Every structure is written in C-alpha cells, then in structure tokens.
Amino acid sequence: MIIGIGTDICDISRIESSIEKFGTRFIEKIFTPFERDYCESKSASGSAYAKRFAAKEAIAKALATDNSGALPWTDVEVRNDPSGRPVAKLYGKALERLKSIVPDGKANVHLSLSDDYPYAVAYAIIETQQMESLS
C-alpha cells in the first residue's frame, strides 16, 4: 500500500550558485559526508548535488503528515545500490516520522532521480508492506 508520494524539481544552477556563494557551509548543512564524497567524485558535481537535494525534498513530502514540520537535511541520505539505482537511508527525525506512520517499520522508499541541465528531478514513493484490511 502506498502511504506517501513526493516529487521535486530543482534548478541545478541554483545549487551550483549556492555552493559557489556559501561553499562548505552550504554543503555540510545539506549533505551527509557520504553524499559529499560521492558528488565530489563526479565530473558534474553540481548535477549530483542537485539530484540529491531534490530527493531530500521529495522524500520529505512523501513523509509529510498534517502536523509534521521540516526534517533536518542530513536525516535523509541518498546512496546507490550496486546496480546504480538510488536508495534512501533515513536517520533521526526522518526515521522517527516513518516509524510513526508505519509502526512495524516494514516500508520501502522507492526513489527515482533524473537530470537534464538545467533541471534535476526526484520522485519518491513510500510503500508499506502491510496488507490492507478487507473488512
């Protein structure tokens, strides 16, 4: 059962400008050490950062409830599985919010990322493994 859907589009040049203007202060506020290492290893690091920025926004939207507030940026981390498919790791308040929605924790976060300069886009679906009651 789908319990949350989120999408976000990000202007890559806006992320590049923020990195240029604020440097490591911006990068360390938004991205985990793992994400920073990954993005910096890419020739198009601005695109890599922008896709992860969009992913964090999309996941936050998918996890949103009527009374939920903002999530710390680094509580959502985007990685890639061995095939290159993006996967999300949740920490702190993001993980707490997921567990409040799905108490047994049996949920999948599906994530799709794409970019075509000047835009990066992310789409997130949170799916529970619980069966809906048929009564």
> Looking at residue 68, what is its pLDDT?
81
Would you state the structure tokens that stand for residue 87, as one six-digit string?
């996967």
Query: Is residue 112, in this structure, part of any structural domain at all?
Result: yes
pLDDT, tens digit, for every residue of 14-46? Answer: 999 999 999 999 999 999 999 999 999 999 999
**Nearest in space to 17 (alpha carbons), one of 115, 113, 118:** 118
> Looking at residue 103, what is its pLDDT?
82
Q: Does position 134 have pLDDT exceeding 50, yes or no?
A: no
Mean per-residue pLDDT, 105-132 = 90
d(CA 43, CA 19): 15
Query: Is residue 80, in this structure, part of any structural domain at all?
Result: yes
Q: Does position 83 have pLDDT exceeding 70, yes or no?
A: yes
Query: Is residue 19, in this structure, part of any structural domain at all?
Result: yes
Mean per-residue pLDDT, 114-124 = 98
Domains held by the chain: number: 1
- The 10 Å CB-count burial string (b at 16+, else e) for 2-22 is eebebebebebeebbebbeee
> Looking at residue 131, what is its pLDDT?
58
Element (H, E) at 20: helix 12-22
Query: Is residue 134, in this structure, part of any structural domain at all?
Result: no
d(CA 90, CA 73): 10
pLDDT band at 130 (very low <50, low <70, confident <90, very high): low
With a pLDDT cut of 90, the percent of the chain lying above it is: 85
**Nearest in space to 13 (alpha carbons), one of 101, 87, 120, 112:** 120
pLDDT, tens digit, for every residue of 54-81? Answer: 999 999 999 998 888 889 999 999 999 9
Indicate the average pLDDT of the chain.
93
User: Which domain does 81 fall in, by range?
Assistant: 2-128
CATH number for 38: 3.90.470.20
